[in-house]
Structure 1
Amino acid sequence: MKREATGHLEITSTAGEPVRAFVPDPLPPLPPLKLGRLGLALHDRALLACGRLDGVASLLPDPDLFLYAYVRREALLSSQIEGTQSSLSDLLLFELAEAPGVPFDDVVEVSSYVAALEYGLTRLASGFPLSSRLLKEIHAVLLARGRGVDRQPGEFRRSQNWIGGTRPGNARFVPPPPGRVDSCMAELERFLHAEGDLPLLVKAALAHVQFETIHPFLDGNGRLGRLLIVLMLVDGGLLRQPLLYLSLFFKQHRSRYYELLDAVRRDGDWEAWVLFFLEGVERTAAAAVDAAHRLLALFQADEAKLTVRGRSGVSVRQVLAALRQRPLIGIPQLAARAQLSFPTAAKAVERLVSLGIAREITGGRRNRVFAYDSYLAILGEGADPL
């Protein structure tokens, strides 16, 4: 059965200008989704890819290594979609010592994304439900610093916002009036906790569109809408670790992404959106598995270099292990992580430089910073600013 628009327009006034704001219908869609045989097969492949991803981290010497770097890669990609120009190295340098020269406002936004994700996961792990209240708390962390600090962090908006255009009257899309945000989010929360036969991946696909359509905050909606996906998958037990992130897929297919959101609102074409989402899940999970395997191969190859090119002492291996934990780091931090003296750590990292494993990036004699370039290259794929 063909659907029509998935909501209705309400005439509201902003700065004296009449505006047609879109108020979405509650989820799930009516009539129910029909993905067909191809859609069900795609869902099964996406689910299988998630299962492989959930198990791949155990192959690494320390699963937290992959998690640390992958979360930061996602933070970077999600923020780039919103227009930031930071690189992965910018973020790691900022976290290392708030190093001068990086684009401060941009890198603060990326760093805040990491903090917001970690906060949300910690709250979920403590038993707190995925809810409007939790999303507000996460939003407060997301906008605690940088450009969004004056955009009502942690509060649903009390004024009209819009997407595209210079004002609501010529915008590409106008979300619900502020007086409807609470009720729309309450409906979304009910959907998140409703029992039913919708698979979790499909439910996450629907919830993401609904959140983006409501646009409940003055700023940060895109980043929080992408965070909602991984929070749902972890909370629902599909993933034990937050390793599935769709920001690169959305970044690579931005035009299609926005076209499909519009098609859902205008024509009720949920099926096309869900198929796109499931394709993104399958591709993204497979790419993450591939990255983990390549990291494992890199670690093994670099360990072999230490053996093939002459016997290396324990201190060199300890410093290499510390570089895996923090692939961009200074000698004091290396020494602390490897539990070595400063001179011993300095000598060991120079050995890694001579083997082509590490590289000094400042060119100075003091406060030197070393990069594990091959590791950063794997994690930085697709993470160039738009």
Structure 2
Amino acid sequence: MERGLTGRYEVTRTAEEAVRAFVPNPLPPEPPLDLSGERQRLLEQALLACGRLDGVSALLPDPDLFLYAYVRREAVLSSQIEGTQSSLSDLLLFELDEAPGVPFDDVVEVSNYVAALEHGMNRLREGFPISNRLLREMHEKLLARGRGVDKLPGEFRQTQNWIGGTRPGNAHYVPPPPADLADCMASLERFIHSDPKPFPDLINAALTHVQFETIHPFLDGNGRVGRLLIALMLHDAKVLRQPLLYLSLYFKQHRAEYYRLLDRVRQEGDWEAWLEFFLEGVTQTAGGAVETAHRLLALFQEDRNRLQDLGRSAANTLRIFNALCSRPIATIRDLEATTGVSYPTASKAIETLSELGIVRELTGRQRDRVYAYDRYLALLNEGTEPL
């Protein structure tokens, strides 16, 4: 449905030139959303896919294992959309204090994303509400180190920003002026906490994401915080018990359409076209996560079966193998500390796993070697190739 412009233009002066900044109308959209027909079918399909994902995560022997890997995969993907070149292996090496194979600032940005997400989820578990304060706290984590440290971490912007172009005057899109930010974000917070909820949880998350990206309240990191906000809202609403639904891969694969639909909402008020895109993304993403979980379980079982016939060394080798299922890149010292076996025992187990082709040494060094559970990493790396 085309409602026309979903806000107003405010003419301000920035760097000695007149700039038309867009100030969005508060949510919910007017006239009301049309959720009938195809959109109702897509909503039911998306909810069913989320239910399947919730079910498979409940069946996992160690849900935290899957969550650990999936959160880091999401961090890589979300950061790639902003131009970083870090891979999942780079991030895991960085977390071991090893040198990654990409520029240091790239992997720092991805590590910051993990910290921001984990901070948000921990705050929700403490009973803290999704709020502007929480978004600022997460933003502070996101820009704590690396390229964003000079972009007001943890604070809403006090100057005009823009998207595309070299300055506000020739930009593709100019968000609200700083003077309108407080009202815009307060209105968005009220919508998030509407009681009763105006729409089903998936729809509320979809609307909130667009509104946040339209307001663009930070000098840097808006895209990453906006994608985190989707995961926070769905977890907080108990759509998923574990925060396992991340749309960054879908947005990365459909970048042009994603940006086109954001513009279409602002200029034409076509929220329904955005919702169809979003709900299709939820269905695809949840389905992909379910498939990944099943493939991981099958991989682990297949490799465990190969270790059962090792005789006396089977028990300790399995112990080391299980540790690599939790952390797919590790040193022998890490595995010694994690499992409680001696260094020689861990070393012997790694040698066995290497001979079987289950792990691969990454550094080529003679000392302080780093080992990767190769097929596990390959599975998680699918779709995370840098843009």
- Partner of 2:241, secondary structure, is coil
What pairs up with 1:163-202 in 2 under 5 angstroms? 163-194=163-194, 195-202=196-203
8 Å CA contact retained: 1:306, 1:312: no
Q: Which residue pairs with 1:155 in the alignment?
A: 155
Deviations 1:96-124 (A, max 9, x none): 11426442100000000000000011111
- CA-based RMSD of the aligned residues comes to 1.1
State the match for 2:356 in structure 1.
Answer: 355
Amino acid aligned to 1:368: R
- Indicate if the aligned counterparts of 1:90 and 1:102 stay in contact, CA closer than 8 A: yes
* Residue 124 (str. 1) matches residue 124 (str. 2): yes
Q: Deviations over 1:124-174 (max 9, x none)?
A: 111111101111111111111110011000100000000000000110000
Q: Which residue of 1 aligns with 2:51?
A: 51
- Aligned twin of 1:4: 4
Structure 1 SS opposite 2:96: helix
Deviation per residue, 1:260-279 (Å, 9 max, x gap): 00000000000000010000
Partner deviation per Cα, 1:61-91 (whole Å, 9 max, x = no partner):
3111100000000000000000000011000
Q: Give, in angstroms, the shift of residue 36 of structure 1.
A: 2.5
**What are the Cα deviations for residues 199-249 of structure 1, in whole angstroms up to 9, with x where unaligned?**
000000000000000000000000000000000001111111110000000
What is aligned with 2:115? 115
* Greater shift in the superposed pair: 309-318 or 332-341: 309-318
* Range with greater deviation from structure 2 (91-100 or 248-257): 91-100
Aligned mates of 1:341, 1:311 — CA distance in 2: 16
1:312 CA drift (Å):
4.2
Task: Please state whether the residue corresponding to 2:74 is helix, strand or coil.
Answer: helix
Match of 1:374 in 2: 375
Distance 1:251 1:184 in 2: 27
Count of matched residue positions in the alignment of Structure 1 and Structure 2: 386
- Which residue of structure 1 aligns with residue 259 of structure 2? 258
List aligned pairs for 1:230-379, cutoff 5 A: 230-308=231-309, 312-379=313-380
**2:67 corresponds to:** 67
Percent pairwise identity? 68
Structure 2 residues without counterparts, runs of 5 or longer:
none
- The SS at the match of 1:36 is coil
> For 1:325 and 1:116, how far apart are their aligned partners in 2?
21
- Determine the C-alpha separation between the residues in 1 that align with 2:88 and 2:355: 24
C-alpha displacement of 1:57: 1.9
- Paired residue type of 2:29: P
Distance in 1 (alpha carbons) for counterparts of 2:309 and 2:343:
26
Q: Does the residue aligned with 1:97 lie in a helix, a strand or coil?
A: coil
Amino acid paired to 2:70? Y
Question: Is the CA contact (8 Å cut-off) linking 2:164 and 2:173 kept in structure 1?
Answer: yes
The answer to whether the 8 A contact 1:59-1:296 is kept is no
User: How far apart, CA to CA, are the structure 2 residues paired with 1:299 and 1:376?
Assistant: 12
Give the match for residue 92 of structure 1.
92
Relative distance call for 1:352 and 1:229 in structure 2 (3 A) is same
| Aligned amino acid, residue 137 of structure 1 | E
**How far off is 1:310 after superposition?**
5.8
The residue number in structure 2 matching 1:226 is 227
- 2:213: which partner in 1? 212
1:98 and 1:108 map into 2 onto residues whose CA distance is 13
- Kindly provide the amino acid, as one letter, of the partner of residue 383 in structure 1: T
SS of residue paired to 2:20 = strand
2:31 paired residue number: 31
Question: Aligned partner of 2:57: which letter?
Answer: A
Q: Which amino acid in structure 2 is aligned with residue 224 of structure 1?
A: V
Q: CA 1:152–1:98 in structure 2 vs 1: closer, same or farther (change >3 Å)?
A: farther
Query: How far 1:178 sits from its partner (Å)?
Result: 0.6
1:361 to partner: Cα distance: 1.2
1:333 is displaced (CA, Å) by 0.2
Q: Distance in 2 between matches of 1:311 and 1:374?
A: 26
Matched-pair contact (CA < 8 Å) for 1:321–1:338:
no
| Kept in 2: contact 1:139–1:224 (CA 8 A) | yes
Contact kept in structure 1, 2:198 and 2:204, CA below 8 Å? no
For residues 185-212 of structure 1, the C-alpha deviation after alignment (integer angstroms, 9 at most, x for no partner) is 0000000000234000000000000000
Unaligned stretches of 5+ residues in structure 1: none
TM-score, normalising length from structure 1? 0.98
Q: Distance in 1 between matches of 2:238 and 2:59?
A: 20
One-letter amino acid matched to 1:174:
V
Tell me what 2:78 maps to: 78
Q: Which segment is superposed worse, 74-83 or 35-44?
A: 35-44
Instruction: Report the alpha carbon displacement of residue 338 of structure 1 after superposing the two structures with TM.
Output: 1.4
| C-alpha distance in 2 between matches for 1:58 and 1:13 | 54
What CA distance in whole angstroms lies between the structure 2 residues aligned with 1:197 and 1:6?
18
8 Å CA contact 2:49–2:286 kept in 1: the answer is: yes
- CA change 1:102–1:343 in 2 (3 A) is farther
TM-score scaled by structure 2? 0.98
CA distance in 2 between counterparts of 1:309 and 1:44 reads 49
Question: Which runs of at least 4 in structure 1 moved beyond 4 Å after TM superposition?
Answer: 308-312
